[in-house]
Amino acid sequence: MKVQRDKLKQYQKRVQVVLDREDALARELLKKGDKRRALLALRRRKYQEQMIATTDSQLLNLQQLVETIEFSLVQKDVLFGLEQGNQVLTKLNQEMRIEDVERLADDTAEAIAYQNEISELLKTQMSAEDEEAVLMELDELERQESDRLQINMPQVPDHPLPVQHPVEAGAQQDDEEKEDELSLNKQPMLA
């Protein structure tokens, strides 16, 4: 179809050349005083103009048809994608049945309830001293774990922060920025 469109455009160019030639011929014949032949050249020119108008209409129809076909191809691709997505979703749903999900949720709830019962039983059977010892052991494990991971937390200042006046704050802030830049320049760079 695109080939046909290109052929129609080439035809229009050829007809335009004929139109220009007929117009020039009509002007030349009119200058010579041959009105009858000039009129015939103008009639041929008018016929060629009608041919161009018909070709324009056909080109428009052909262009619309090409666009419709291209859009239909896009729609076909979208439909194919939707079908594939639906098939995958169906397979996933077959693998994950509602009964299995409900059973898993029930099993999980039962396991949590069982664990809570055990915790309550152990808590009630332990003395206050045992409970305190368990909590201290938990704190020690947490400390060891944080030491093992080498978590370095920043130090919180233990003195009150100085109060700054608004006018001095801008000047002091500039000084602090310069100090920060200097300290950054002195620190070794890590690769």
Contact predicate 75/46, CB 8 Å? no
Percentage above 90 pLDDT, the chain: 16
Angle at 57 between CA 54 and CA 59, to 5 degrees: 110
- Per-residue pLDDT at 114 exceeds 60: yes
Look up residue 127 and give its two tokens: 């003395």
Please tell me the distance from the alpha carbon of residue 75 to that of residue 67, in angstroms, as a whole number.
12
Residue 45: Cβ within 10 Å count: 19
For CA atoms 127, 133, 134, 139, the dihedral sign is positive
The pTM for the full model equals: 0.39
Please tell me the distance from the alpha carbon of residue 150 to that of residue 141, in angstroms, as a whole number.
14
- Per-residue pLDDT at 116 exceeds 60: yes
pLDDT band at 27 (very low <50, low <70, confident <90, very high): confident
